[in-house]
C-alpha cells in the first residue's frame, strides 16, 4: 500500500466465517487499531486442544503502527485470547470498568499485569488513538457493559456493534441508549460492522425479564434440587437464577470458579445490588434437596466444567440424585451437539429430569434477530453494511436482509480480506495470511501442527512402536520389542508375534547395504511393521508407526 495514499480499511483476522474468535482491525493513514481479541473452543477434530484463537502473523507487519486494542465487552470470544496473544504485540488496552476487572484478573494470572497498560474508560466515554476518535456506546447483551464503538475518522464514521440485542427490560445494566444511536445516525455513518449470529431469527430475541418469569413458573413445584447451567459470563442469567431461587424458597449455590469470579466482578462494579447470599458447596450439602438451586458452568458439556464433574461424581459435596431437575439455560453452540448429548445420557442414568430450550422457555439469545437489525439500521442509516461475527451463512443472510431493506452497499468479508471502506470504490482489495492457533497445554501451535495431525491419526488408526537391537552387520541381538497402542489384539499377544514374524521376513531378504544404514533399516522395519498391522487388523489405513534401532558392537 502506498504510504501517501490515505485509505480507511477494515480487516477481520477472526470471527468472520465462524462463531467466536473475534479479532478485527481498522486502518487509516497507516495507523491501526484492533477491536477485540477472542477465543473459540476446539472440537474433536483437534484432539487434546481446549482453545483456539486467530493466527496473528499479519500483526508483525504493523506492530509499530498498532495504536491500541479496544475491547467491546468481557465475553471470552472477545477477550479470551488477550492473555495468550498480547505478548506478541504489546499495545495499550482499552476497556470499560467491568471488562477491565475481568481483564486484570486474567493478566495477573498469566503474569502480565505489571507489563500491560490498561486504560479504563467510563461507560459512554470517549478517547482518541492517533487519528481515530472512539466513543463507547451502551447497548444490551447478556453480560454487563456491552458496548458498540462509534469510530470517527477523516474519511468517514464507523459504527462497530460488538455483540448486542435490544432488550426492553434488561436485568443487569442500562437499556440501549436509543437517543444516542439516533444522534449517531444523524451525524452520518459510512459503515456499520454488525453482529450476525442470530440473523435467521425473524423475530426479536426477547427480554431477559421474560425468561425470569418463565423460570419461576417452571421450577416452583419441582421436588428435588434444581441445577441450572449457563455460560459463566452470562451475568444477566445468573442474576435471573438468583431471583428464581429467592422466589421459589431455595438457597443459591454457585459451582464453577469462572461463575464465582464473574459474579464478584459484577458486584465490584455496582451490579447485582439485590443478589442474595450464596451458600458454599459444603453448606449446601447439609440442606434438604428441595431447598437448593445450583447454578453451574458447563452448559456445552465441557469436560472440565462444573456440571460434567458433578455428573461424573468428581465433586466432593455436590451430586445429582433421582427427582432432581437440570435446566440447560443456554443455546447449543453448533459443533457441541454430541458432547451435550453424552451429558444428557449421563443425567438420564441418574434419573434426573432434563429441560432445554427445546422443551420450555428457558433462554433468550443475546444477539439481534431480524426485527432488531431492522431497527438498528433505521437508527444508524449506514451507507455500507458489513456483516461480521458469524458463520458464512450468517454473514450472507445479513447482507441479503440489509439489501431487502434498501441498503444496497454490502460487503461480506472473510478472515484475512482487506476491505476498503473509503475513498473511491468500496470492496475487497487484498488478502493477508490468516489461520488458527491452538492452545496445547501452555504451548501455542498452529492448528495444523504435526503434533495435532499425528494425534488425529493415532485417534483413528492407533500407533505402533518398534524397537530393534542389532549388531554392526544388522543382525538381531534380542527379540524385537513391539508396543501396539490402540490396536485390537483379541488373542493376547498374537498381534505382536504376527508383526515380529513379518519384520523378520523383511530383514532376511534385505541386502547388507540396507542393513548397514540406520535410516534405511528403520524405514524397512517401519514399512514391514505397518503393513503387518494393517493386514492383521483389516484396516485400510495403518497405524502411526515409530521405529527405534539400537546398534551394539559385539565384544
Extract the residue ranges of the chain whose pLDDT is less than 50.
1-2
pTM: 0.89
Q: What is the pLDDT of residues 449-503, one digit of tens each?
A: 999 999 999 988 999 999 999 888 878 889 999 999 999 887 778 999 999 999 9
> Cis (ω within 30 of 0) for the bond into 532?
no
What confidence score (pLDDT) does residue 541 get? 84
Residue 196 contacts residue 386 (beta carbons within 8 Å): no
What confidence score (pLDDT) does residue 1 get? 44
> What span, in angstroms and rounded, lies between the C-alpha atoms of 151 and 131?
10
Q: What is the pLDDT of residues 346-395, one digit of tens each?
A: 999 999 999 999 999 999 999 999 999 999 999 999 999 999 999 999 99
What confidence score (pLDDT) does residue 492 get? 76
Diameter over CA atoms, the chain = 93
What confidence score (pLDDT) does residue 539 get? 85
> What span, in angstroms and rounded, lies between the C-alpha atoms of 97 and 106?
14
Q: What are the backbone dihedrals phi and psi of residue 34, each rounded to the nearest 5 degrees, phi first? A: -110, 140
Q: What are the backbone dihedrals phi and psi of residue 372, each rounded to the nearest 5 degrees, phi first? A: -70, -40
What confidence score (pLDDT) does residue 414 get? 97
End-to-end CA distance of the chain: 70
- Half-sphere exposure in the Cβ direction for 442 (13 Å, CA): 2
> What span, in angstroms and rounded, lies between the C-alpha atoms of 9 and 393?
23
The boundaries of every CATH 3.60.15.10 domain in the chain are 8-203+365-446
The boundaries of every CATH 3.40.50.10710 domain in the chain are 208-355
The boundaries of every CATH 3.10.20.580 domain in the chain are 462-551
CATH match for 208-355 among 3.40.50.1100, 3.40.50.10710, 3.40.50.1980, 1.10.8.50: 3.40.50.10710
Dihedral sign of CA atoms 168, 174, 180, 184 in order: negative
Average confidence score pLDDT of the chain = 93
Topology of domain 8-203+365-446 in CATH is Metallo-beta-lactamase; Chain A (3.60.15)
For 26-57, letters b (16+ CB in 10 Å) and e give bbbbbbbbbbbbbbbbbeeebeebebbbbbbe
Which class does domain 462-551 fall in? alpha beta
Give the three cell numbers for residue 485.
Answer: 497402542
Give the three cell numbers for residue 382.
Answer: 449506514
Cβ neighbours for 167, distance < 8 A, ≥ 6 positions apart: 140, 175, 176, 205, 207, 208
Q: Specify the pairing of strand 147-153 against strand 40-41.
A: unpaired
> What span, in angstroms and rounded, lies between the C-alpha atoms of 89 and 106?
17
Got the DSSP string for 415-461?
TTEEEEEESSS-EEEEE----EEEEETTEEEETT-HHHHHHHHHHHH
Amino acid at each position: 500500500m502506498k504510504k501517501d495514499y490515505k485509505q480507511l480499511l477494515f480487516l477481520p483476522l477472526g470471527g468472520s466465517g465462524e462463531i467466536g474468535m473475534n479479532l478485527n482491525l481498522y486502518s487509516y493513514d497507516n495507523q491501526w487499531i484492533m477491536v477485540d481479541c477472542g477465543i473459540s473452543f476446539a472440537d474433536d477434530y483437534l484432539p487434546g486442544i481446549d482453545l483456539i484463537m486467530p493466527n496473528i502473523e499479519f500483526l508483525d507487519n504493523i506492530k509499530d503502527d498498532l495504536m491500541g486494542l479496544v475491547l467491546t465487552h468481557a465475553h471470552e470470544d472477545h477477550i479470551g485470547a488477550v492473555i495468550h496473544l498480547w505478548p506478541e504485540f504489546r499495545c495499550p488496552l482499552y476497556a470499560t470498568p467491568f471488562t477491565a476487572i475481568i481483564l486484570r484478573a486474567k493478566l495477573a494470572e498469566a503474569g502480565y499485569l505489571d507489563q500491560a497498560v490498561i486504560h479504563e474508560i467510563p461507560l459512554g466515554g470517549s478517547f482518541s488513538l492517533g487519528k481515530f476518535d472512539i466513543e463507547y456506546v451502551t447497548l444490551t447483551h447478556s453480560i454487563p457493559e456491552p458496548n458498540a464503538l462509534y469510530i470517527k475518522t477523516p474519511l468517514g464514521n464507523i459504527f462497530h456493534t460488538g455483540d448486542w440485542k435490544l432488550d426492553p427490560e434488561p436485568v443487569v445494566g442500562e437499556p440501549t441508549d436509543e437517543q444516542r444511536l439516533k444522534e449517531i445516525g444523524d451525524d452520518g455513518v459510512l459503515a456499520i460492522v454488525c453482529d450476525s449470529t442470530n440473523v435467521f431469527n425473524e423475530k426479536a430475541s426477547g427480554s431477559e425479564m421474560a425468561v425470569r418469569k418463565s423460570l419461576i413458573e417452571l421450577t416452583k413445584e419441582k421436588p428435588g434440587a434444581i441445577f441450572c447451567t449457563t455460560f459463566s459470563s452470562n451475568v444477566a442469567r445468573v442474576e435471573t437464577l438468583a431471583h428464581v431461587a429467592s422466589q421459589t424458597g431455595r438457597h443459591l449455590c454457585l459451582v464453577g470458579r469462572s461463575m464465582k469470579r464473574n459474579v464478584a466482578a459484577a458486584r465490584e462494579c455496582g451490579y447485582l445490588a439485590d443478589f442474595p447470599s450464596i451458600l458454599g458447596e459444603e453448606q449446601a450439602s447439609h440442606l434438604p434437596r428441595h431447598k437448593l438451586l445450583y447454578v453451574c458452568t458447563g452448559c456445552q458439556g465441557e469436560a472440565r466444567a462444573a456440571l460434567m464433574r458433578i455428573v461424573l461424581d468428581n465433586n466432593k459435596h455436590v451430586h445429582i440424585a433421582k427427582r432432581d431437575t437440570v435446566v440447560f439455560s443456554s443455546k447449543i453452540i453448533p459443533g457441541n451437539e454430541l458432547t451435550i448429548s453424552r451429558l444428557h445420557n449421563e443425567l438420564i442414568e441418574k434419573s434426573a429430569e432434563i429441560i432445554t430450550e427445546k422443551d420450555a422457555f428457558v433462554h433468550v439469545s443475546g444477539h439481534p434477530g431480524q426485527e432488531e437489525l431492522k431497527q438498528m439500521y433505521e437508527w444508524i442509516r449506514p451507507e455500507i453494511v458489513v456483516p461480521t461475527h458469524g458463520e458464512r451463512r450468517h454473514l450472507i443472510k445479513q447482507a441479503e436482509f440489509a439489501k431487502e431493506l434498501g441498503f444496497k452497499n454490502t460487503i461480506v468479508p472473510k478472515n484475512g480480506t482487506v476491505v476498503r471502506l473509503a475513498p473511491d470504490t468500496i470492496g475487497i482489495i487484498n488478502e493477508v495470511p490468516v489461520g488458527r492457533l491452538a492452545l496445547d497445554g501452555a504451548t501455542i501451535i498452529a492448528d495444523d501442527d504435526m503434533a495435532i495431525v499425528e494425534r488425529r491419526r493415532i485417534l483413528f488408526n492407533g500407533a505402533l512402536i518398534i524397537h530393534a537391537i542389532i549388531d554392526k552387520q544388522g543382525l538381531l541381538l534380542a527379540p524385537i520389542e513391539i508396543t501396539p497402542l490402540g490396536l485390537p489384539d483379541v488373542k493376547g499377544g498374537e498381534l505382536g508375534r504376527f508383526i515380529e514374524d513379518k519384520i523378520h521376513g523383511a530383514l532376511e531378504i534385505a541386502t547388507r547395504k540396507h542393513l548397514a544404514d540406520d535410516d534405511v533399516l528403520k524405514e524397512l522395519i517401519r514399512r514391514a511393521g505397518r503393513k503387518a498391522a494393517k493386514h492383521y487388523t483389516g484396516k485400510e489405513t495403518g497405524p502411526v508407526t515409530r521405529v527405534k534401532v539400537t546398534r551394539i558392537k559385539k565384544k
